[in-house]
Amino acid sequence: MNCSISGEVPEEPVVSKKSVLLYEKRLIERHIADYGKCPVTGDPLTMDDIVPVKTGKIVKPKSLTAASIPGMLGMFQNEWDALMLSNFVLEQQLHTARQELSHALYQHDAACRVIARLKKERDEARSLLAQAERQAPLTASAATANVSALSNGKRVAEDGDMGPGSKQMRPGVSESIIAELTECNAFLSQQRKKHQIPPTLAPVDALERYTQLSSHPLHKTNKPGISSIDINLSKDIVATGGIDSSAVLFDQTSGVILSTLSGHSKKVTSVKFVAPSNVILSGSADKTVRIWQGSEDGNCDCRHILKDHTAEVQAITVHATNNYFVTASLDSTWCFYDLSSGLCLTQVEDPSNSMGYTSAAFHPDGLILGTGTTEATVRIWDVKSQGNVANFDGHTGSITAISFSENGYFLATAAHDGVKLWDLRKLKKFPVI
């Protein structure tokens, strides 16, 4: 007799009083506990209606497959096949779970990157907004000194300051400024003539043995490249201008980045320290010059945004007084600025230079300005009169850099065709010795 539920011979047989059906005791107990009715007829059924049946001990016969060695081998083979199929299914499920986990992690990482970028853009927007609020236009009473008001960092001229052809009129280099430059020139001229070559100057053979000690990636890797550099020797801080539109202040001693100056929209072509104040100047291909004011904690705020040029600003040079600086641009002009106010005192245009300036540098005494052009010509200017006193021709390519010697007697110029050294003592119109 077989169980009405499992169809197998029951080990503990019981009979229902109502339906007279045979069940396995453990199965009918579970069914009654779950449903409370007969599994076959559907009539209500309780454990009181179940009667145990006494039977002799049942000896289960051995299966034919286990009665011989070939049968046992076949049974083992079937069990092995079932095990292999189960493992295959588990491996497929594990592979699917790994793919789903990897996709979820990738989505999480992408979301974190987007959030970080949005936070950075938000912080930059807040910084620009704070700068715009600090540089808001001045009241009319504060503009009586013929100084243009600041509007979002740009100096806007008053109606009376506009000359013919809607060009802004410059106040020019006053007599007091010329007197200051002349006094500085007299003092520095005496100092440089007494200057001796220091014994600690490295010889040429020592320079040839120099090797790289370290390398520091300061700018973004998606737009790699450093286009300008300057060093604050007193604090051992390096300023670099990058193609990624930012300038970086790097502490060479500790090897850490002190501050990143963000705000330019194109590559930074020139950076200069103004010693001993915590002021940094940056010029960019976006046609602007920015004056940054540093603080003791290493942060820098943009104090002025100068927009006097109409083409890329290629070079910045600071006067020896540290009160004035000059910018040179591809618009064929150079501007003389007052550092404290950010006011352009004069903008000198060279009609004979149609391609613009690529470099600029002050003479150590401060009364001579050297500029390099895209037309391979080096022009020497008298700062007091803003007149062109000499021209050096000889290069065949654009002038990339110029530098005066420390004693003021020589001028080195670099171009795509090489480096040339000029003797300034031959300048008859403007002697330097």
More confident: 296 or 282:
282
Average pLDDT, integer, range 222-241: 85
Same domain, 231 and 360: yes
Domain that holds residue 376: 175-190+218-429
Strand partners, 274: 279
More confident: 25 or 350:
25
Highest average pLDDT, of 61-70, 90-99, 120-129, 407-416, comes from 90-99
Whether residue 177 contacts residue 165, with contact meaning beta carbons closer than 8 Å, is answered with: no
pLDDT of residue 149: 36
Which H or E run contains 128? helix 69-134
Whether residue 414 contacts residue 400, with contact meaning beta carbons closer than 8 Å, is answered with: yes
Q: Give the whole-angstrom CA distance, residue 320 versus residue 403.
A: 14
Average pLDDT, integer, range 268-286: 89
| pLDDT one-digit tens code per residue, 353-399 | 667 899 999 988 888 899 999 888 898 898 888 888 888 888 888 88
- On whether residue 309 sits in a domain, the answer given is yes
C-alpha torsion 65→68→72→73, nearest 10: -120
Q: Give the whole-angstrom CA distance, residue 320 versus residue 357.
A: 21
- On whether residue 393 sits in a domain, the answer given is yes
Same domain, 385 and 244: yes
Strand partners, 324: 338
Whether residue 412 contacts residue 400, with contact meaning beta carbons closer than 8 Å, is answered with: no
Q: Report the domain count for the chain.
A: 2
Question: Is the pLDDT confidence value at 412 over 80?
Answer: yes
Percentage of the chain exceeding pLDDT 90: 25
The CATH number assigned to the domain holding 294 equals 2.130.10.10
Q: If 0-12 CB within 10 Å is exposed, 13-18 middle and 19+ buried, where does residue 370 land?
A: buried
Same domain, 276 and 420: yes
Q: Give the whole-angstrom CA distance, residue 209 versus residue 306.
A: 43
Q: If 0-12 CB within 10 Å is exposed, 13-18 middle and 19+ buried, where does residue 421 land?
A: exposed
Whether residue 274 contacts residue 319, with contact meaning beta carbons closer than 8 Å, is answered with: no
| pLDDT one-digit tens code per residue, 305-339 | 999 999 999 999 999 888 999 999 988 899 999 98
Same domain, 322 and 184: yes
Tokens at 43, concatenated: 């009539």
- On whether residue 111 sits in a domain, the answer given is no
> SS3 of 129, please?
helix
Which residues have C-beta within 8 Å of that of residue 297, sequence separation ≥ 6? none
Tokens at 89, concatenated: 């299914």
- On whether residue 195 sits in a domain, the answer given is no
| pLDDT one-digit tens code per residue, 37-56 | 888 888 999 999 999 988 77
E strands in 47-101: 50-52
pLDDT of residue 95: 93
Which H or E run contains 419? strand 418-423
| pLDDT one-digit tens code per residue, 58-113 | 666 666 666 778 888 888 888 888 888 888 889 999 999 999 999 999 999 999 99
Average pLDDT, integer, range 109-132: 89
Model confidence band, residue 340 (pLDDT cutoffs 50, 70, 90):
confident
pLDDT of residue 163: 42
- On whether residue 28 sits in a domain, the answer given is yes
Whether residue 300 contacts residue 319, with contact meaning beta carbons closer than 8 Å, is answered with: no
Q: Give the whole-angstrom CA distance, residue 433 versus residue 427.
A: 10
- pTM for the whole structure: 0.60
- On whether residue 92 sits in a domain, the answer given is no
Which H or E run contains 177? helix 175-193
Number of Cα atoms under 13 Å in the Cβ half of residue 80: 6
pLDDT of residue 169: 67
Whether residue 240 contacts residue 229, with contact meaning beta carbons closer than 8 Å, is answered with: yes
Strand partners, 413: 402, 420
Q: What share of the chain is helix, strand, coil (3-state, %, to 5)?
A: 30, 30, 40
Which of 17, 44, 67 is at the close of a domain?
Answer: 67
pLDDT of residue 188: 82
Whether residue 402 contacts residue 363, with contact meaning beta carbons closer than 8 Å, is answered with: no
- On whether residue 240 sits in a domain, the answer given is yes
More confident: 234 or 31:
31
pLDDT of residue 118: 94
More confident: 216 or 291:
291
**Within 135-174, where are the H helices?**
none
Amino acid (1-letter code) at residue 126: R
pLDDT of residue 433: 44
- Which residue from 361, 365, 370, 374 is spatially nearest to 388, judged by alpha carbons? 370
- On whether residue 369 sits in a domain, the answer given is yes
Which of 30, 52, 67 is at the close of a domain?
Answer: 67
Question: Is the pLDDT confidence value at 29 over 60?
Answer: yes
Which of 12, 38, 67 is at the close of a domain?
Answer: 67
Give the residue carrying structure tokens 């010889």. 203
Same domain, 35 and 184: no
| pLDDT one-digit tens code per residue, 132-187 | 776 654 333 344 344 343 333 444 333 334 443 345 667 888 888 888 888 888 88
The CATH number assigned to the domain holding 31 equals 3.30.40.10
Which residues have C-beta within 8 Å of that of residue 352, sequence separation ≥ 6? none
Question: Is the pLDDT confidence value at 253 over 90?
Answer: no
Average pLDDT, integer, range 1-5: 84
State the chain's mean pLDDT as an integer: 82
Q: Give the whole-angstrom CA distance, residue 195 versus residue 403.
A: 18
Highest average pLDDT, of 122-126, 182-186, 324-328, 420-424, comes from 324-328
